[in-house]
């Protein structure tokens, strides 16, 4: 070949490679250019604002990551009670986060302190808010036992600071999780410069509070509209742009910033059981199929490791009159509850998923898990709501005059909503019309207690307003219906249901609790075991921990930047 042609060919190849390299470099470095339109993202002079540098969800305070997967739910190793409520079903759980320990007394006291400062119980308008959040310390009393030391000291004494809080009802646990969500997001926004520094502790009062949903939907209405707090100081703030006059716009964080965290909540029963089993290091097919008896490996409650051989792996009742073992030998280290992290965690890094205290989960109790309808993130208890909208199109914010108080079945009064929150109303036909995935606001009874799932409805005339025909759950779950009300003077009137035909304690107000406690025998340590209790009552052996959903990828290890 002619030398000139060879040289010309080499030059063309080099130019082609150079042009290709330039094109590739431009494409790989243009994450702020839209692949849909070619427009610039995050232009300070205008345009679409989005956090293109987001890596993955930050692990919120107190939580550990639980990578989701498939497991056999409800597979108990022993069924001596013959409850028939643990039918094994294969379920899939999305990745989520969970508290590494139970919520402790000191964690709950921080909540009570905030409530007391923001809604002083000395104010008649707020007294019920604080008293409604207080744990029931009388749960420790026993007619034939001397337990006054716990009644008077367990919640507040520093000696019990890191012990799991008890005497908390399911309703109170939910309210704690809501409060915790707001405090953490308040902290995140302040850290990013969107809120004034230290406003969360120095300037909050009943008229100036922070609520996550309110900030997302109407940020100017948080903190009672106090712009000095809401506008922050600009420290580290991203994606803030200016208008033609140089004024800052877009100064409020949105979901697109990635700063606002998902909410703390109670775990679902499926999540709790999956997390308790700790299947992350599982290599045995038999265990995957549901043959793991405890959160730890093995079929026994004592350790087999040489250094700690014979030590109990959890805090539970070992026998009649035996709540810890012989002093100094064969002892589990506790008679009532024990300080968190006193025993080894499971493979997910979770402590006390067996023993110490049983734990509330989010689900309404039903004897049967309906896996035929859903085997993905199974949960029974959905009640769908939406933001209440004013006539001018703005969201309705609860004020001190709008607080609604509910009287529970035990006579305790709690606040249904708090100032600064967005008023919630049930979804209606605007959201449900022609949908196939849900058709009403309250889905608790779906396929188990509603008209479509109860044969008894065929025997009743819907036009007759009888006690039986007006409540769907009474046909399938014939539970007592006590009534509590107040007279004109505010005195409580209690009416007990003395009907001899009641045949069940199951209704829509009983919630599942999981795991054994310091009061339970080893039988209940199996993560698949399940029991239920009224959602507005508390005991000395039920506590709780919080969970949080994960956004983004299933596994942390897969969040790697591709070259």
pLDDT for 18 beyond 60: no
Q: What is the pTM of this model?
A: 0.88
User: Which of 46-50, 84-88, 532-536 bottoms out in mean pLDDT, i.e. has the lowest?
Assistant: 46-50
Place of tokens 């079903």: 89
**DSSP sequence for 464-509:** S--TTTT-THHHHS-----EEEE-TT--EEEE----TT-----STT
Rounded mean pLDDT, 258-280: 94
Sorting pLDDT into bands at 50, 70 and 90, what band is 28?
very low
Sorting pLDDT into bands at 50, 70 and 90, what band is 478?
confident
**pLDDT at position 294:** 86
Model confidence pLDDT, tens digit, residues 161-178 = 999 999 999 999 999 999
Tokens representing residue 331 in the block? 């002892």
CA angle, 358 then 362 then 368, to 5° = 90
**pLDDT at position 27:** 45
**Pairing, β 385-387 against β 424-426:** antiparallel
What letter does residue 383 receive in the DSSP assignment?
A: B
Rg of the chain over all Cα atoms, to the nearest angstrom: 28
Around Cβ 291, how many Cβ atoms within 10 Å?
13
**pLDDT at position 281:** 62
pLDDT for 12 beyond 50: yes
Distance from C-alpha of 486 to C-alpha of 494, rounded to nearest angstrom = 9
Model confidence pLDDT, tens digit, residues 281-321 = 654 544 445 567 888 877 777 776 766 676 777 899 988 99
pLDDT greater at residue 456 or residue 113? 113
> Are the C-beta atoms of residues 57 and 550 closer than 8 Å to each other?
yes
Rounded mean pLDDT, 443-472: 61
Rounded mean pLDDT, 534-553: 96
Distance from C-alpha of 472 to C-alpha of 553, rounded to nearest angstrom = 40
Mean pLDDT, the chain, rounded, equals 84
> Are the C-beta atoms of residues 49 and 256 closer than 8 Å to each other?
yes
For 288, half-sphere exposure in the C-beta direction (CA atoms, 13 angstrom radius) is 9
What letter does residue 281 receive in the DSSP assignment?
A: G
Tokens representing residue 356 in the block? 């110490």
Model confidence pLDDT, tens digit, residues 49-106 = 888 888 899 999 999 999 999 999 998 877 777 777 888 899 999 999 999 999 999 9
Distance from C-alpha of 215 to C-alpha of 223, rounded to nearest angstrom = 9
Q: Which of 137, 133, 131, 129 is nearest to 108 (CA)?
A: 133
Model confidence pLDDT, tens digit, residues 136-152 = 999 999 999 999 999 99
pLDDT greater at residue 510 or residue 412? 510
Model confidence pLDDT, tens digit, residues 330-362 = 677 899 999 999 999 999 999 999 999 999 999
Please list, residue by residue across 34-67, b when 16 or more beta carbons sit within 10 angstroms of its beta carbon and e when fewer do.
eeeeeeebbeeeeeebbbeeeeebeebebbbbbb
Tokens representing residue 528 in the block? 């698949």
**pLDDT at position 460:** 43
> Are the C-beta atoms of residues 533 and 361 closer than 8 Å to each other?
no
**pLDDT at position 235:** 59
Q: Is the dihedral of CA 555, 556, 557, 558 positive or negative?
A: positive
pLDDT greater at residue 470 or residue 104? 104
> Are the C-beta atoms of residues 28 and 561 closer than 8 Å to each other?
no
Tokens representing residue 533 in the block? 């209790």
Distance from C-alpha of 296 to C-alpha of 305, rounded to nearest angstrom = 12
Distance from C-alpha of 211 to C-alpha of 547, rounded to nearest angstrom = 19
Distance from C-alpha of 33 to C-alpha of 39, rounded to nearest angstrom = 6
Sorting pLDDT into bands at 50, 70 and 90, what band is 401?
confident
Rounded mean pLDDT, 215-223: 93
Rounded mean pLDDT, 505-512: 93
How many angstroms separate the Cα of 353 from the Cα of each of 79, 101, 305?
Answer: 20, 8, 20
Please list, residue by residue across 169-182, b when 16 or more beta carbons sit within 10 angstroms of its beta carbon and e when fewer do.
bbbbbbbbbbbbbb
């Amino acid at each position: 070949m002619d030398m000139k042609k060879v040289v010309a060919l080499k030059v063309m190849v080099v130019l082609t490679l150079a042009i290709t390299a330039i094109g590739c470099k431009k494409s790989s470095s243009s994450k702020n250019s839209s692949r849909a339109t070619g427009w610039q993202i995050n232009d300070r002079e205008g345009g679409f604002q989005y956090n293109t540098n987001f890596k993955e969800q930050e692990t919120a305070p107190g939580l550990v990551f639980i990578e989701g997967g498939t497991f056999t739910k409800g597979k108990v190793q022993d069924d001596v009670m013959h409850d028939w409520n643990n039918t094994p079903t294969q379920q899939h759980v999305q990745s989520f986060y969970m508290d590494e320990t139970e919520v402790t007394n000191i964690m709950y006291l921080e909540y009570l302190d905030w409530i007391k400062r923001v809604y002083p119980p000395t104010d008649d308008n707020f007294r019920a808010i604080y008293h409604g959040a207080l744990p029931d310390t009388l749960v420790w009393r026993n007619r034939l036992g001397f337990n006054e030391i716990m009644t008077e000291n367990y919640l507040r004494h520093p000696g019990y600071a890191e012990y799991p809080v008890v005497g908390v009802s399911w309703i109170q646990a939910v309210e704690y999780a809501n409060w915790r969500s707001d405090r953490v997001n308040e902290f995140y926004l302040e850290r990013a410069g969107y809120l004034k520094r230290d406003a969360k502790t120095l300037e909050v009062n009943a008229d100036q509070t922070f609520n996550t949903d309110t900030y997302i939907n109407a940020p100017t209405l948080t903190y009672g509209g106090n712009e000095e707090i809401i506008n922050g100081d600009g420290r580290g703030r991203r994606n803030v742009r200016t208008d033609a006059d140089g004024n800052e716009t877009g100064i409020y964080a949105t979901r697109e910033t990635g700063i606002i965290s998902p909410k703390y909540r109670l775990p679902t029963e499926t999540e709790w059981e999956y997390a308790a089993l700790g299947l992350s290091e599982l290599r045995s097919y038999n265990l995957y199929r549901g043959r793991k008896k405890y959160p730890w490996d093995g079929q026994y409650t004592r350790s087999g490791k040489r250094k700690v051989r014979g030590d109990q792996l959890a805090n539970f009742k070992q026998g009649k009159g035996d709540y810890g073992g012989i002093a100094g030998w064969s002892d589990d280290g506790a008679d009532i509850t024990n300080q968190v992290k006193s025993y080894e965690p499971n493979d997910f890094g979770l402590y006390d998923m067996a023993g110490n205290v049983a734990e509330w989960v989010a689900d309404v109790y039903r004897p049967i898990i309906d896996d035929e309808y859903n085997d993905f993130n199974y949960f029974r208890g959905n009640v769908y709501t939406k933001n209440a909208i004013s006539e001018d199109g703005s969201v309705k914010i609860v004020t001190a005059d709008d607080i609604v108080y509910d009287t529970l079945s035990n006579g305790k009064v709690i606040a249904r909503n708090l100032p600064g929150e967005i008023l919630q109303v049930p979804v209606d036909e605007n959201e449900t019309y022609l949908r196939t995935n849900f058709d009403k606001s309250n889905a608790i009874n779906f396929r188990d207690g509603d008209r479509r799932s109860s044969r008894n409805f065929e025997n009743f005339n819907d036009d007759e307003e009888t006690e039986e025909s007006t409540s769907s759950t009474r046909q399938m779950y014939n539970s007592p219906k006590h009534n509590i009300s107040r007279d004109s003077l505010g005195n409580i009137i209690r009416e007990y249901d003395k009907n001899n035909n009641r045949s069940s304690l199951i209704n829509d107000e009983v919630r599942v609790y999981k795991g054994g406690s310091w009061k339970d025998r080893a039988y209940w340590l199996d993560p698949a075991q399940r029991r239920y209790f009224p959602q507005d009552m508390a005991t000395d052996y039920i506590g709780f921990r919080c969970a949080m959903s994960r956004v983004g990828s299933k596994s942390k290890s897969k969040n790697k930047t591709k070259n």
